[in-house]
Amino acid sequence: MTLTSSLEQGRPPQQIREDLWLFPPNRDCLGGSSWWLDCVPEPVLIDCPPLTEATLQALERLAAGRIPRLLLTNREGHGRVRRLQERLGWPVLVQEQEAYLLPGVDPLETFAQTHRTASGLRLLWTPGPTPGSCVVHAPAPWNVLFCGRLLVPVAVGVLAGLQHRRTFHWPRQQRSLERLRDWVGSDPLPSLASGAGLGALRGERLAPWSAWADGFHQAPHQETPT
């Protein structure tokens, strides 16, 4: 199907560091955040940004002739990825549990437990928020952990696992958080880049590793699943 409607103008991404950009909140993903990491040889776009003219222009400028990879950390970050992929043609990587949600996307690659990209980024399957949630660890020199919705900003300088009505499996999410601590290792501890809305951080974008709160939070007025 040919898209004839014009896109919104939108806002361009914000540069956080020399190698890291943050796109504006995406309404198609409940205000989720998507990130661009300029790593060599294959830059990555993590989760789907809002499909706007400003986004497309920025992505073409940032790609600079290279073929980046689109990593999706959970089904709530898919947004309008198929339309974005139709326009840009970049390959998409997703955990196998959520690949069935993207039948028209080609090329689409999947992984099961772990994966390593051409640039050395590591992916780990962390089910809980959704069945196919995963995290992306960019080791030094980037030193960032893109945690999708596994860790959500809950206050200024605090990220935690959050249970709410869209949570797929809360005990699995708790186990995934414990496994993630072991998997990342301790030297050096990465900064945290959440894929959820960042409003609770009140202007901060990247959070230090110490912002990861030990306790698990439950959204108020939600019924605990049986």
Partner 1 sequence: MAFIKRPIRRLRRKALLHQTFRLPQRLSLHTIGALREALADVDLRIVNQPLPQLTPFP
Cβ neighbors of 96 (< 8 A, separation 6 or more) are 110, 111, 112, 132
Report the phi/psi class of residue 161: left, alpha or beta, with left for phi > 0 and alpha for psi in -120 to 50: beta
The residue (of 56 and 189) whose beta carbon lies closer to partner 1 is 56
CB of 104 to partner 1, least distance (A): 6
The residue (of 102 and 207) whose beta carbon lies closer to partner 1 is 102
The residue (of 105 and 158) whose beta carbon lies closer to partner 1 is 105
CB of 198 to partner 1, least distance (A): 18
The residue (of 19 and 96) whose beta carbon lies closer to partner 1 is 96
From 28, 84, 41, 83, select the one nearest 59 (Cα to Cα): 84
Report which secondary-structure segment, H or E, holds 174: helix 170-184
CB of 226 to partner 1, least distance (A): 7
Please tell me the distance from the alpha carbon of residue 73 to that of residue 6, in angstroms, as a whole number: 28
CB of 25 to partner 1, least distance (A): 13
- Taking a C-beta distance cutoff of 8 angstroms, is the pair 109, 71 a contact? no
Provide the greatest CA pair distance for the chain: 50
Burial of 14 (0-12, 13-18, 19+ CB in 10 A): exposed
Residues lying near partner 1 in the complex (CB under 8 A) are found at 28-30, 75-76, 78-83, 96-104, 112-113, 125, 127, 130-131, 166, 168-169, 172, 175-176, 179, 226
The residue (of 57 and 113) whose beta carbon lies closer to partner 1 is 113
CB of 109 to partner 1, least distance (A): 14
